[in-house]
């Protein structure tokens, strides 16, 4: 970290709510822009700060303060300026001038140590002198508290947040139960509080620590996709995290339940918010499902008319799906590739359009929404866009307050008679809850997806749980249409899903298996395919080919593959700018992926003479682009995501990764012209049938598997799926019985 010192000359911006401040600092003719969170800050104070420089895309170069100390001015002029700026409540310009005229350089000392003498100044009563003294004492207490927090390893920003929330309780909390900080403040986790607790001497066997550790274990489980943990699993995991045996584990769980932080349901332990979220989703689904219309001849005639007019080839199950959509409150349509899900959705869209219904079409990711829109010729949005997600500005979002950041909710529901959601396997419990809150009673809900795809990254297994409950109308499309049957990708995907071995030796136009047991051979074959064979064969560019792997680490994991492919496809060149950021070397021409939704990131579509023809905000998790410029002077990286141009400051590139190779999980909701996947032995939990199935179904024109046929067979026959503890199915069935 760099250290700078100077006088605060101008406050440019300040948020009293967060303490976030932008201000100018002068020192010996130089002027810098500082940013950071401060409990108070006043013009003419001196600041000694440690931090780092960053380039803001709009406001230029800024010094981000991570540690700081503030000092009052030491000259009479500086003191007058300081007091006149409103540093002390009750002192304006006139009184500041009188104080400094009388006490000169001793003014601030007298105000702190002998405040009664202020009554000697015209315009200051004895009561006002006491008020000023109290104000100064409060400022000193605040500064001392923040310095103390920084002294035990807490960042300046977090120190300010802690002080603002707890005020005078800080020392008591740190002495008795620092884990309250994690309970009451967003963005502060157990591990941070545990390190603070160790510094202030909290015992490892403290009941506060044990309860905080159990809460943290449940939160970690949710990040792994679980909604709850069985008591025995929770105990084992909590003991691992806390690094100690928990003989009083049951008592700790009961105490947490009494405090309202967890919910016990038999042997299942939920975080309370998650339990009630699951119940809410189940209740709302059943309420919407109960709104059925009586099927009429008019409906049948309307469907028949649409089928003929649009020349749609519907099999009996597809026809049934359209009929059920016409009369049901909720309908689930599931099926593998080539089974006609998109054609069915088209028929449903035409039916409801003819009925004059207001329809919304959405998907969890930008790429999935775009693909759905192109396939149906109907505008589609991401679910976050549909729900008008606002984000949280400078701070990280937390799952607890997730719904607060959607403008569409119970008070402001969606203006839609019919809501169709595609790629439902990717929708987690949190997002489903937010969707259902924004759906007004009477809305038709149609959920479309492939239940054999990987489950959502977030907590829950929503699509599969709804299907397994058998309480909601569900159509499973099974027939592979003739056109699709011509593709070995589709045929083999269905075989893989059923555990049937495809003929790997068959000469195929779109499904290839290239043998080679050694990693060096696989690497070499991937390079040849990407540089020569596939671009020529499919008439595509290299960026349209996607390499996938089940895992990040290992000889043929994503990290190693990206390093190899970067040097193979985009080698170092003196004419190519490059920059290492956050442990990744970015080079001009690299293929990159945005790995986190960023709704505030500005983009433009350049037109003639580089004049933007369209501007907007939002780049999403899974969006893939190409680096077209690295500007070392401006400290920016320019990426084109298809036609959208985005300028990243170096400091904002944490959510960018190389994308020559990606994990199969990251491919969900996307489609690529060609998919290449190495076949090799790996951890059994990652080498599963549904991962193989998901990878194959991401390809439009060609799948290339390279490696050991025995590794392919092992994946095909490994039906092991990581157990996901989700209670939505049970909640739905239980509520259904009560109705």
Residue 211 has pLDDT above 70, yes or no: yes
Both tokens of 229, joined, read 């943990």
Q: pLDDT averaged over the chain?
A: 86
What gap in Å lies between CA 68 and CA 77, rounded to an integer? Answer: 24
Q: How far apart are CA 297 and CA 302, in angstroms?
A: 9
**Residue linked to tokens 């088209």:** 346
Q: Is 186 helix (H, G, I), strand (E, B) or coil?
A: coil
Distance CA 64, CA 55 (A): 10
Q: What is the pLDDT of residue 152?
A: 72
Contact (CB, 8 A) for 394 and 374: no
Per-residue pLDDT at 194 exceeds 50: yes
| CB distance 326 to 351 below 8 Å | yes
Q: Which of 179, 169, 175, 200 is nearest to 255 (CA)?
A: 179
Residue 187 is predicted with a pLDDT of: 63
Cβ-Cβ contacts under 8 Å for 143 (sequence gap 6 or more): 39, 40, 70
Segment 141-174, tens digit of pLDDT:
777 777 777 767 777 667 777 877 787 788 887 8
| Confidence bin at 547 (pLDDT 50/70/90) | very high
pLDDT given at position 302: 85
Distance CA 174, CA 711 (A): 54
Q: Which residue has the tokens 């390093």?
A: 563
Predicted pLDDT of residue 404? 64
Residue 391 pLDDT exceeds 70? no
% of residues, the chain, pLDDT over 90: 45
Average of per-residue pLDDT across 509-537: 92
Which helix (H) or strand (E) covers residue 60, if one does? strand 60-71
The residues with which 34 forms a beta bridge, in sequence order, are 23, 63
Q: What is the pLDDT, as a whole number, of residue 395?
A: 39
Which residue did the predictor score with more confidence, 495 or 173?
Answer: 495
What pLDDT sits at residue 397? 40
Return d(Cα 492, Cα 199) in angstroms, integer. Answer: 58
Tell me the pLDDT band of 98, cut-offs 50, 70 and 90: confident
Q: Judge contact between 75 and 105, C-beta under 8 A.
A: yes
Mean pLDDT of all residues in 517-521: 88
Token pair 């899903």 is at which residue?
A: 497
With 0-12 CB in 10 A as exposed, 13-18 as middle and 19+ as buried, what is 256?
buried
Q: Give the pLDDT band (50/70/90) at residue 657.
A: very high
Query: What does the pLDDT average to over 198-223?
Result: 88
pLDDT at 46: 87
Pair 598, 618: CB distance under 8 Å? yes
Question: What percentage of the chain carries pLDDT values higher than 70?
Answer: 95
Q: 10-14, 144-148, 506-510, 707-711: which has the minimum mean pLDDT?
A: 144-148
What single DSSP character describes residue 516? -
Q: Is the pLDDT of residue 510 over 70?
A: yes
- Helix (H), strand (E) at residue 334: strand 330-335
Q: Quick check: helix, strand or coil at residue 24?
A: strand
Per-residue pLDDT of 435-449, as tens digits, reads 999 999 889 999 999
The per-residue pLDDT for range 474-487, each reduced to its tens digit, is 999 988 886 777 88
Kindly state the DSSP code that residue 389 receives in the 8-state scheme: B
Kind and range of the H or E run holding 342? helix 341-354
Tell me which residue of 694, 588, 692, 696 sits closest to 637, measured CA to CA: 588
Q: Is pLDDT of 399 > 60?
A: no
pLDDT at 188 over 80: no
Where does the pLDDT of residue 18 fall: very low under 50, low under 70, confident under 90, or very high at 90 and above?
low
**pLDDT for residue 674 is more than 70:** yes
Look at 613 and 567; give whichever has higher pLDDT.
567
Distance separating alpha carbons of residues 303 and 346, to the nearest angstrom: 12
- First-last CA distance in the chain: 63
Angstrom distances, CA of residue 184 to CA of 38, 161, 177, 582 = 20, 11, 12, 30
- Is pLDDT of 363 > 90? yes
In which band, very low, low, confident or very high, does the pLDDT at 269 lie, cut at 50, 70 and 90?
very high
With contact defined as beta carbons under 8 Å apart, do 572 and 578 qualify?
Answer: yes
pLDDT grade for 601, boundaries at 50, 70 and 90: confident
- Higher pLDDT: 553 or 135? It is 553
Q: 677 is written with which tokens?
A: 């996947």
Does residue 660 have a pLDDT over 90? yes
pLDDT on residue 154: 73
pLDDT one-digit tens code per residue, 310-328: 888 888 899 899 999 988 8
What is the per-residue pLDDT for 85?
A: 67
């Amino acid at each position: 970290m760099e250290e700078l010192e100077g006088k605060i000359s101008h406050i440019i911006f300040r948020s009293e709510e967060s303490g976030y401040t932008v201000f100018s600092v002068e020192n010996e003719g130089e002027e810098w822009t500082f940013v950071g969170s401060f409990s108070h800050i006043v013009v003419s104070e001196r600041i000694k700060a440690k931090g780092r420089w960053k380039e803001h895309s709009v406001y230029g170069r800024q010094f981000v303060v991570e540690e700081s100390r503030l000092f009052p001015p030491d000259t009479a002029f500086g003191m007058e300026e300081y007091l006149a700026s409103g540093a002390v409540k009750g002192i304006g310009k006139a009184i500041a001038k009188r104080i400094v005229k009388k006490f000169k350089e001793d003014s601030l000392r007298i105000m702190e140590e002998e405040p009664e003498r202020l009554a000697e100044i015209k315009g200051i009563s004895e009561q006002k002198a006491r008020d000023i003294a109290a104000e100064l004492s409060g400022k000193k207490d605040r500064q001392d508290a923040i310095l103390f927090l920084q002294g035990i390893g807490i960042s300046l920003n977090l120190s300010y947040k802690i002080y603002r929330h707890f005020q005078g309780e800080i020392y008591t909390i740190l002495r008795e139960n620092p884990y309250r900080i994690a309970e009451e403040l967003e963005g502060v986790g157990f591990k941070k509080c545990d390190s603070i607790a160790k510094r202030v001497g909290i015992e490892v066997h403290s009941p506060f620590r044990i309860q905080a550790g159990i809460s943290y274990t449940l939160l970690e489980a949710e990040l792994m996709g679980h909604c709850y943990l069985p008591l025995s699993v929770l105990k084992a995991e909590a003991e691992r995290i806390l690094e100690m045996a928990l003989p009083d584990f049951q008592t700790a769980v009961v105490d947490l339940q009494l405090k309202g932080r967890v919910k016990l349901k038999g042997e299942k332990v939920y975080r309370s918010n998650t339990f009630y979220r699951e119940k809410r989703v189940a209740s709302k689904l059943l309420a919407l499902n109960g709104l059925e219309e009586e099927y009429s001849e008019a409906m049948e005639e309307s469907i028949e008319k649409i089928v003929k007019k649009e020349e749609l080839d519907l099999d009996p199950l597809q026809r049934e799906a359209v009929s059920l959509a016409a009369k049901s409150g909720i309908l689930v349509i599931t099926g593998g590739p080539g089974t006609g899900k998109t054609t069915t959705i088209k028929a449903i869209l035409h039916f409801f359009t003819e009925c004059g219904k207001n329809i919304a079409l959405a998907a969890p990711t930008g790429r999935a929404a775009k693909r759905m829109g192109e396939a149906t010729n109907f505008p589609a949005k991401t679910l976050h866009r549909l729900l008008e997600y606002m984000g949280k500005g400078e701070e990280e979002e937390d799952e607890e307050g997730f719904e607060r950041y959607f403008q569409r909710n119970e008070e402001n529901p969606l203006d839609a008679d019919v809501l169709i959601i595609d790629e439902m396997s990717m929708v987690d419990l949190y997002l489903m809850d937010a969707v259902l809150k924004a759906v007004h009673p009477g809305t038709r809900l149609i959920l479309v997806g492939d239940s054999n795809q990987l489950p959502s990254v977030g907590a829950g297994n929503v699509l599969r749980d709804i299907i397994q409950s058998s309480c909601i109308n569900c159509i499973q499309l099974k027939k592979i249409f003739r056109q699709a049957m011509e593709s070995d990708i589709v045929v083999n995907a269905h075989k893989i899903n059923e555990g049937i071995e495809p003929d790997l030796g068959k000469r195929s136009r779109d499904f290839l298996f290239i043998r080679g047991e050694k990693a060096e051979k696989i690497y070499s074959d991937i390079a040849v395919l990407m540089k020569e064979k596939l671009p020529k064969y499919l008439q595509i560019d290299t960026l349209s080919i996607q390499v996938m792997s089940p895992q990040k680490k290992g000889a043929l994991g994503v990290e190693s593959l990206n390093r190899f492919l970067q040097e193979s496809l985009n080698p170092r060149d003196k004419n190519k700018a490059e920059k290492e950021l956050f442990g990744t070397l970015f080079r001009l021409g690299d293929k990159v992926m945005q790995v986190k939704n960023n709704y505030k990131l500005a983009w433009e579509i350049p037109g003639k003479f580089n004049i933007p023809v369209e501007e907007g905000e939002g780049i999403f998790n899974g969006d893939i682009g190409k680096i077209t410029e690295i500007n070392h002077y401006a400290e920016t990286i320019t990426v084109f995501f298809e036609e959208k141009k985005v300028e990243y400051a170096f400091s904002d590139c944490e959510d960018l990764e190389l994308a020559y190779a990606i994990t199969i999980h990251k491919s969900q909701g996307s489609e690529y012209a060609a998919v290449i996947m190495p076949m090799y032995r790996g951890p059994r939990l990652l080498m599963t049938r549904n991962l193989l199935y998901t990878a194959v179904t991401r390809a439009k024109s060609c799948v290339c598997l390279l490696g050991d046929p025995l590794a392919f067979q092992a994946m095909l026959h490994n039906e092991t799926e990581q157990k996901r503890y989700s209670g939505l199915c049970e909640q739905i069935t239980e509520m259904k019985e009560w109705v």
